[in-house]
Amino acid sequence: MRSVLLLWCLLAVAAATASGPAAAVPDPAITPEIAVSDQDLRTFVSVFRSIREAYVEPVDDQKLMRAAIRGLLSSLDPHSQYLDADELKAWDQDISGRYGGLGIEVIAAGGFLRVIAPLDDSPASRAGVRAGDIILAIDGKEVDGNDADAVDLLRGAAGTRVTLTLDRESSGTPLELSMVREVIRTRSVRARLLQPGYGYVRISQFQLNTSADLRQHLRQLASAKQPLRGLILDLRDNPGGVLDGAVEVADLFLQAGLIVTTRGRTEGANRSFSASAGDLLAGAPLVVLVDAGTASASEIVAGALQDQGRALILGQRTFGKGSVQNILPLPAGGAIKITTARYYTPSGSSIQAQGIAPDIELADRQLAPLDHPAQMISSEASLPGHLNAVASASAAAAPATAATATDGELADDYVLSSALNTLKAMVIARRKPTVGDPPAGDDQPTVQQR
C-alpha cells in the first residue's frame, strides 16, 4: 500500500515499542492520509528499533519520539520547531514580556547559535553581547545549534550566574562574558526628546501592548507649547515579536493604505492588513533607523512606512526574516511552531532572505572628539581687527536665545546623530513660506511643501 498514515505510523511505532501496556493507536479512518512510500516507512521503523535496541545507552521511547518530531520540523526551516510544555511556557513569557534569563534573542542556523539582538537594559546588553555574535559555549559546555535544548541553557532562575563564550567577527579570539540572570521585564517602548520638538522612540521588540505604550509616549513627548516637528523611530536590534503589535504601530503613522500581506498555502494564511485614518504625527517627518538586527515584525513596520512614502529608512539592510509562524497546540500538551506564510510589503516585495534596503545606507560608527582640535580661522569674527556688526532694528529687538541642550547619546551614536540632522533637513524642506518672506528670485530659492 503506497498511501499510509504518517502520524498514525509514528504513534503506532511508539506504542509498539513501549515497555508498558499497549497504548491506544489512532484510527486511520479518521486521520488525514499522507502519502509515504512503504520503503520510507520501513526505513523509519528500522531506525527507531535499531536505536532502541543497539544504542550504547538505553533511550526513552517518548524522548526518542519527541526527537523524531523535532527533526521533522527543524528540517523545514530555522523557525519551525516542537515546543514541549516548558518551551511553550517560555514562548508565552516572551509575548507577555516577563521571564528569567539574560534578555537575548537567538536563532539556530547552520549548526550555530547566533545572536539576533540583546534586549535593551538586559544582562546580555550590559555585558556587551552584540547582534551577530555566535555562542560557542554556555558555562563551558559547547553549544550545538542543532540541539533544540541549547536555548534553554540561557534561561534560568534570577540571580544565577552564567558565562557565555562568543565568537565575534571583529575579534581574533573567542570572548568570555559573565553575567547574572534577572527577571526580564521587557519594556518594549522608550521615548525622550533629543532636542525641543525632535522626538526619539526606541522599540526593542513588539509585544501585545506595544502600540498602546507608543501612543502614550508620543502624547507625553508632544505638548501644546512645543508640538513634535519630527520623530526618529529606532528599530535597530529589534528581533520582532507579535505581528498584530507591528501592524498597530505602523497604523499609528499612516492615514490609509496597505501595511502588510501574508501568503501561504491555507486560506487562513492569506491575510492583508490596512491602516485606519489617524496619523499621530499629523504628517510630521519620520526617520526610521534599521540595521542587521532588525528582523521579522520590525521589518514589517519599516517596509510599510517605506513603501507608503511615510518615512525615510536610514541605516543598514535588515535581517530578512519574512516568514509567519503560528503556534498550534497539541492534544497531549506542548505545541508546534510552524511557518505558515511569508510577509510581503505593500509594494509586493518579499522580506524573506532579502530584508529591507534602507533609503540611506549608513554604517554603524562611533563618534569621538579629537584629542587636539585643529587651530584654524573659522570665521570673520576670528580675524584680528575685524569690523563690528551694525545691529539692525529687528536684531536689536530680538531677545538672546539660549543654546539648545542636546541629548548626550548624540555625542557617540553616529547613526542617531546623522538621523537627527536628516530629520531637521526634512522639517526645513516641508516648511511652507510664510507671509512676509521675501519673494523668490534668481538668488532666492523657493521652499516647497513636500
The domain that contains 340 carries what CATH number?
A: 3.90.226.10
pLDDT score at 107:
81
Instruction: List, in sequence order, every residue forming a beta bridge with 206; answer none if it has no partner.
Output: 241
Number of domains, the chain: 3
Annotation says 84 is catalytic = no
How far separated are the first and last CA of the chain, in Å rounded?
68
Final residue belonging to a domain, choices 156, 185, 214: 185
pLDDT score at 7:
45
Same domain, 180 and 193: no
Same domain, 177 and 232: no
Q: Is residue 409 part of a domain?
A: no
| Number of separate helices (H) and strands (E) present in the chain | 10, 21
Q: Which of 321, 323, 413, 417 is catalytic?
A: 321
Mean pLDDT of 339-356: 95
- Rounded Cα–Cα distance for residues 44 and 63 (Å): 16
Share of the chain above pLDDT 70, in %: 79
- Rounded Cα–Cα distance for residues 104 and 96 (Å): 15
pLDDT score at 18:
42
Backbone angles phi, psi at 186, to 5 degrees: -75, 115
Share of the chain above pLDDT 90, in %: 53
Annotation says 424 is catalytic = no
pLDDT band at residue 21, thresholds of 50, 70 and 90?
A: very low
Q: Apex CA 293: angle with CA 79 and CA 88, to 5°?
A: 35
Residue 99 clears pLDDT 70, i.e. is over it: yes
Annotation says 321 is catalytic = yes
Mean pLDDT of 325-353: 93
CATH number at residue 114: 2.30.42.10
Can you give the pTM of this predicted structure? 0.70
HSE at residue 179, side-chain half, CA atoms within 13 A, is 25
Q: Is residue 217 part of a domain?
A: yes
Which DSSP letter does residue 101 get?
E
Burial grade of 381 (CB within 10 A; 0-12, 13-18, 19 or more): exposed
Top-ranked range on mean pLDDT: pick from 174-188, 247-261, 384-398: 247-261
Mean pLDDT of 42-54: 92
Q: Is residue 90 part of a domain?
A: no
Same domain, 251 and 213: yes
pLDDT band at residue 390, thresholds of 50, 70 and 90?
A: confident
Burial grade of 398 (CB within 10 A; 0-12, 13-18, 19 or more): exposed
pLDDT in tens, 206-234: 988 899 999 999 999 987 678 899 999 99
Same domain, 231 and 295: yes
Q: Is residue 44 part of a domain?
A: yes
pLDDT score at 406:
56
Mean pLDDT of 264-292: 95
Same domain, 166 and 195: no
Burial grade of 369 (CB within 10 A; 0-12, 13-18, 19 or more): exposed
pLDDT in tens, 4-13: 344 444 544 4
Q: Is residue 66 part of a domain?
A: yes
- Rounded Cα–Cα distance for residues 103 and 86 (Å): 18
Q: Is residue 369 part of a domain?
A: no
Mean pLDDT of 132-156: 84
Same domain, 343 and 217: yes
pLDDT score at 286:
98
Same domain, 11 and 105: no
Q: Is residue 328 part of a domain?
A: yes
Same domain, 124 and 203: no
pLDDT score at 392:
54
Cell (9 digits) for 57: 545507552
Final residue belonging to a domain, choices 170, 185, 200: 185
Sequence-ordered list of residues with C-beta below 8 angstroms from that of 309, at least 6 positions apart, any chain: none
Residue 104 clears pLDDT 90, i.e. is over it: no
Q: Which of 122, 188, 296, 418 is catalytic?
A: 296
Same domain, 209 and 324: yes
Lowest mean pLDDT among 19-23, 91-95, 165-169: 19-23
pLDDT score at 450:
32
pLDDT score at 243:
93
Q: Which of 211, 307, 323, 417 is catalytic?
A: 307
pLDDT band at residue 399, thresholds of 50, 70 and 90?
A: very low
Q: Is residue 86 part of a domain?
A: no
Mean pLDDT of 66-89: 89
> Which residue from 110, 143, 120, 83 is spatially nearest to 326, judged by alpha carbons?
83
C-alpha Rg value of the chain to the nearest Å: 28
Lowest mean pLDDT among 110-124, 159-173, 232-246: 110-124
Sequence-ordered list of residues with C-beta below 8 angstroms from that of 86, at least 6 positions apart, any chain: 152
Higher-confidence position of 319 and 411: 319
Final residue belonging to a domain, choices 185, 220, 237: 185
pLDDT score at 202:
96
Question: Could you write out the three-class secondary structure of 284-300?
Answer: CCEEEEECCCCCCHHHH
Same domain, 197 and 296: yes
Same domain, 9 and 116: no
pLDDT score at 440:
44
Place of cell 519620520: 286
Same domain, 143 and 166: yes
pLDDT in tens, 22-33: 334 444 444 456
pLDDT band at residue 410, thresholds of 50, 70 and 90?
A: confident
Mean pLDDT of 362-371: 69
Domain residues for the domain of 279 are 189-361
